[in-house]
Amino acid sequence: MKILVCISQTPDTTAKISFTPDGASFNPAGVQFIMNPYDEWYALVRACEIREAGGGTVVALNVGPAANEVTIRKALAIGADEAVRIDADPSSAAFVAKQVAEYAKAENFDLIFLGKETIDYNGSEVGAMVAEHLDLPYISNASQLHLNGNAATLERDIEGGVEVLEVALPLVLSAAKGMAEQRIPNMRGIMMARSKPLKVVPPVALDEPVKTIGFTLPPAKAGVRLVDPEQMDELVRLLHEEAKVI
């Protein structure tokens, strides 16, 4: 089994978000970066479990600059066998998907994992784009994956329920909660990660169909209005007359 896991690097969940003074780009100063939680906890761990059960290779792929190698080494410490870094700024979903597909098309992966979204740009776009580039089935928001030879059974979270489906490998899937349990890398994993192969690949060009204009911070809340705990009729009145939500 040959498995590709796409990992993205994002600001830590508690990071204070700020932008350059012209608002054109994200300001990384003082920000702690992590592996996108969906990629790490669910996609990567499930990929490792499948390899542990049936053999094979797990390749972790990141599109990003050399500074991302800390995150890539963490993926190796958690259990990926080898890693690939496409040496480019991950400027858009379209660009990242193009790089992943370009790399994957010569490699014949059985499974291509992503997280269900990244916690920075929240797009949920890359997986479907990769699948289309490679003409493969795509299962988004997958919370379960079981393999029986070449046949995969999956559960996919949909609004108000779960879809149970079957599909033959190869396929692309995005992983959601339920797929696996978070793993903390141990000392042995961290040591081994240092000597695992990390290949650097140049990017391919893409004519960007979407350009980023800039960023702003959302307007601050006016401040909380406190209501006396004895006065719940008053709260209901406010919600009806002032907020108009009931």
Q: Which positions touch ligand FAD (CB under 6 A)?
A: 13, 37
Non-local CB neighbours of 107 within 8 Å, separated by 6+ positions: 2, 4, 59
Task: Decide if 113 contacts 127 (C-beta within 8 A).
Answer: no
Is 28 near other proteins (CB under 8 A)?
A: no
Residue 219 CB neighbour total at 10 angstroms? 6
Between 1 and 128, name the residue whose CB sits nearer to other proteins: 128
User: Which of the residues 51 through 90 are near other proteins (CB under 8 A)?
Assistant: none
Is 123 near other proteins (CB under 8 A)?
A: yes
Name which of 207, 186, 36, 62 is nearest 118 in CA terms. Answer: 36
Is 108 near other proteins (CB under 8 A)?
A: no
Is 151 near other proteins (CB under 8 A)?
A: no
Is 162 near other proteins (CB under 8 A)?
A: yes
The DSSP letter of residue 220 is P
Task: Considering only the stretches 50-58, 62-70, 153-161, 188-196, report the one whose residues sit in contact with other proteins under the rule CB under 8 A.
Answer: 153-161
Residues 2, 169: Cα–Cα separation, whole Å? 11
Q: Which residue is nearest to ligand FAD (CB)?
A: 13
Q: Of 29, 106, 164, 184, which lies in the binding site for other proteins, with binding defined by CB under 8 A?
A: 164
Residues 196, 186: Cα–Cα separation, whole Å? 15
Between 36 and 92, name the residue whose CB sits nearer to ligand FAD: 36
